[in-house]
Structure 1
Amino acid sequence: MLRLLMLTIFIPYLSFGQQTKTTSNDNYTYPDSSWQLVTNIAKNGWNNDSLNKLRLFIIDSTNSTGVVVIQSGKILFEYGDTKETSYIASCRKSILSMLYGPFVEDGTIDLAASIEQLHIDDVGGLLPEEKKATIKNLLTARSGVYHAASNEGDASAMAPKRGSVEPGSFWLYNNWDFNVAGYILEQRTGKTIYQLIDSMFAKPLQMQDWNINEQRKTGDTTRSKYLAYHIWFSTRDMARIGYLMLRNGRWKDEQIIPADWIKKTTAVVSTRKQAVEEKTAYYHFGYGYLWWIWDEPYNKGAYQNAYSATGAYGQFITVLPKLDMVVAFKTKYDYGRQTSTDVYLKFLEKLVAARKQ
């Protein structure tokens, strides 16, 4: 038992899959059926002792059930059961942003279209001012529509009076926006979000644990007819999603998401300063198109151009371009566990600090 405990604490990474060959394209490395491991931690610029201490921090100070850190296309560090699928909470919204990309590029979706033009209405009716909101407003959480969402878990308690805000002028993290954006994508493409994930991501990325039959929508249709499109991923498949973003939408020889869309959606639309002034700020972040973006004064060093999907209870897909790194971090809520965002940010700080100077 002592030997097993020592192995758990002091081996920097353990892989749940066999080491298989990887594919390199344009000087980038991609996983095939499973991820390769970084075979020499120190040679690749990382401090072994610091990564061992990071493992102890995860055990002692978080409730994480899975962590995968990808460095230049290979696993640098992992913890927990990375193949177990569970609910990724609001990370679903960043996934939706990715799905939009090809359909904006080919003209299937016009971001300037208003919800009135799309014949969007809801329980009890929308106000004339609210119907002016565009798809872009929905994707950037600036719709000005403060109708109740079918599910909780947003900042709607801080919403201004309905009809008092011009669409596009005020940022508020609002599930109504996100759920309606999901509905519009399905209506414009003729496919469900889960079918799109299956064809656009699961197959080309060789996602190891995706199960379309596990996915389901939820919500109270007496509040709003637009349901929340909840998603179940494994940690190691979350890492594939993040790695697709890091590689600007390209996977091996296929451009799955337009690179321009990746750039557009991960740039700040609503600054952290604005959010502080509007009393809707969230930690170190500004907001783009359904992605949280490190913003002033935190977007320095390793966090330059960094962005993250985040979800309740401790779900994160973080992309750190300066380190050529992706971090997938999961906390399975079914186990009654939670990891707060401030604890996760401390985890990231310790991870970044493990890089040899």
Structure 2
Amino acid sequence: MDAAIAAGQVPDTTSVLIARDGRLVYERYFGTGGPDVLNNTRSATKSVTALLIGAAVDRKLIDGAQAPIYGYFADRTWLHPDPRKARFTVEDLLTMSSQWECDDDNTFSAGNEERMYLAENWTQFALDLPIKGYAPWMKRPEDSPHGRAFSYCTAGSFLLGAAVERVSGKPLATFARETLEAPLGIRESQWQRSSEGVGMGGGGTRYRSRDLAKLGQLLLDGGRWNGKQVIAADWIRAMTTVHAQARDDADYGYLLWRFRFDVRGEEEAAWAMSGNGGNYVFVVPSQRLVAVITRTRYNQRDMHAQSQRLMSDYILKALP
């Protein structure tokens, strides 16, 4: 793997870390990477936001995954009022299956994240989104696996972070530090904020590579760290349960991807925190394995495929 990275087969890789059975067994840094570098993991932040929702549920600040998300913004009004919005749940946003017209993969979408970044108030942008329609070739929720029509929507993850701020009365970075980062021994992180100053739960948080491995290990160990239950086991179980089909080759939990890798003719399932640039934290429960890949190959079409090949062709094939 070192040779492949050195040969430029996986360009802009900055670190690869592997933990097996809770023990770090491989740690390499490349290019601009280093043990103290705070990596911009982009949308891998979404998985952290899901953990923070779990922390808020643990503290009875949020009434579980079925809580109506608009209820946490009842002091506001929004465009495109529709009774269906009142039925949108926290889980709908966690699974990227709300009925907003919001699709980051479609530049024409009203909810495309690039439009949100230009808005003065991102919270209002999300609340104002219209209900989506369905072209004849699009699957409706009732025709989709798991009864959910998946559509990747950063605005939804951002609104979840905004809800955490509201119910906790604290900046998202502070809530994250108190409920998640400090218990894991994460000493430093950098959270982004929206135009109006709300913590950005949809992407851009910076972590050291070893701290990303801790987050993966937390998922692997059912929310426990050093013998302490940091996030409820039931919440971790819900996060790592398939709730929607994202693509033909990938499923989705609570702001977590689930990929299927072929390893010597056998299918190996891996949960993943995933972000622009080819950033990944892979969790392979059957192998008790966590793998961190950080890269800076932002906005390149091959970024995700390269990182996934690194996982399949080198890391998983090295298993005994």
User: Do the structures match in fold with TM over 0.5?
Assistant: yes
- Residues in 2 aligned to 1:153 and 1:98: alpha-carbon distance in whole angstroms: 26
CA deviation string 1:190-222 (max 9, x = no partner): 2222112211232222225x14xx322135x7x
In the superposition, relative to structure 1, how do residues 126 and 330 fare at CA in structure 2: closer, same or farther (>3 Å)? Answer: farther
Aligned to 2:126: none
Q: CA deviation at 1:189?
A: 1.8
Moved >6 Å (runs of 4+): 165-168, 336-339
2:225 to 246, 251, 275: 251
Pair 1:66-2:10 in alignment: no
Pair 1:287-2:288 in alignment: no
Pair 1:115-2:69 in alignment: yes
- Residues in 1 aligned to 2:171 and 2:73: alpha-carbon distance in whole angstroms: 19
Q: Which runs of 5+ in 2 are unaligned?
A: 103-109, 117-129, 135-139, 142-146
For the 8 Å contact 2:53–2:160, the answer to whether it is kept is no
For the 8 Å contact 2:252–2:258, the answer to whether it is kept is yes
* Matched letter for residue 71 of structure 1: R
Aligned to 1:325: 289
- Residues in 2 aligned to 1:132 and 1:193: alpha-carbon distance in whole angstroms: 25
Describe how 1:198-209 pairs up with structure 2 within 5 A. Answer: 198-208=177-187
Describe how 1:241-320 pairs up with structure 2 within 5 A. Answer: 241-271=215-245, 275-276=247-248, 284-294=249-259, 301=266, 303-304=268-269, 306-320=270-284
For the 8 Å contact 1:313–1:338, the answer to whether it is kept is no
Q: Which runs of 5+ in 1 are unaligned?
A: 1-53, 155-160, 277-283
- Secondary structure of the residue aligned to 1:170 is coil
- Residues in 2 aligned to 1:338 and 1:239: alpha-carbon distance in whole angstroms: 25
Report the structure number with the largest CA radius of gyration.
Answer: 1
Pair 1:191-2:170 in alignment: yes
1:217 to 193, 198, 205: 193
In the superposition, relative to structure 1, how do residues 301 and 164 fare at CA in structure 2: closer, same or farther (>3 Å)? Answer: same
When the two structures are superposed, what TM-score results if normalisation uses the length of structure 1? 0.69
Pair 1:89-2:42 in alignment: yes
- Secondary structure of the residue aligned to 2:16 is strand
Aligned to 1:173: 152
- Residues in 1 aligned to 2:70 and 2:300: alpha-carbon distance in whole angstroms: 41
When the two structures are superposed, what TM-score results if normalisation uses the length of structure 2? 0.76
- Secondary structure of the residue aligned to 1:199 is helix
- Residues in 2 aligned to 1:141 and 1:129: alpha-carbon distance in whole angstroms: 16
Describe how 1:132-171 pairs up with structure 2 within 5 A. Answer: 132-146=87-101, 148-149=110-111, 151-152=113-114, 162-164=131-133, 169-171=148-150
For the 8 Å contact 2:172–2:198, the answer to whether it is kept is no
- Residues in 1 aligned to 2:217 and 2:68: alpha-carbon distance in whole angstroms: 33
For the 8 Å contact 1:287–1:293, the answer to whether it is kept is yes
In the superposition, relative to structure 1, how do residues 55 and 296 fare at CA in structure 2: closer, same or farther (>3 Å)? Answer: closer
Q: CA deviation at 1:116?
A: 3.8
Q: CA deviation at 1:112?
A: 2.2
Aligned to 1:100: 53
In the superposition, relative to structure 1, how do residues 132 and 329 fare at CA in structure 2: closer, same or farther (>3 Å)? Answer: same
- Secondary structure of the residue aligned to 1:217 is coil
